[in-house]
Structure 1
């Protein structure tokens, strides 16, 4: 399984706007072919920092999403709210606990 972790840091005044974008689009992203899981996490100390975790059937599925109209729309809206450059990691899931 291919996992994508993205760290997003927002202007504090833009957090609600980001949460609205995520809420509006999360089902569309989860329903995108190849996406098996999507969650949003918030840092316990810095409440303007969020992480998305998404599981993909394979890297090509993520790349297809990243070149889709859906991604273009979501990313265009979201990137305007950042106060720092986003960071991303692509990892392979090796072990799952039952």
Structure 2
């Protein structure tokens, strides 16, 4: 399993539209084969910055998602609202304490 973190910065006037759109797509993303977890976070200081955290069984599952029609349509719609270049990281979980 590995984790994908994506940082997105939005034009403030487009945040509500993004949140509404994400609400309509979150279950499709979470239900994509190989995706085990999905969360959306909002920065407390810079409220136009959001992060998605998703857990994937394998890198190939993420690549399948990134090549899917679902991702292509979600990304095409979402990136229209950005006011800065998005950043993404693929990381392995080393330690988790509950």
- Aligned equivalent of 2:6: 6
Per-residue deviation, 1:21: 1.4
What TM-score do the two structures reach when normalised by structure 2?
0.97
CA distance in structure 1 between the partners assigned to 2:24 and 2:97 by the alignment: 31
What TM-score do the two structures reach when normalised by structure 1?
0.97
- Structure 1 gaps of 5+ residues are none
- Aligned equivalent of 1:22: 22
Give CA deviations for 1:14-46 in whole Å, capped at 9, x if unaligned: 001110111000000000000000000000001
- Aligned equivalent of 1:43: 43
Q: Please, what is the CA RMSD of the aligned residues?
A: 0.7
CA distance in structure 2 between the partners assigned to 1:83 and 1:46 by the alignment: 13
CA distance in structure 2 between the partners assigned to 1:57 and 1:39 by the alignment: 16
**Number of residue pairs aligned between Structure 1 and Structure 2:** 98
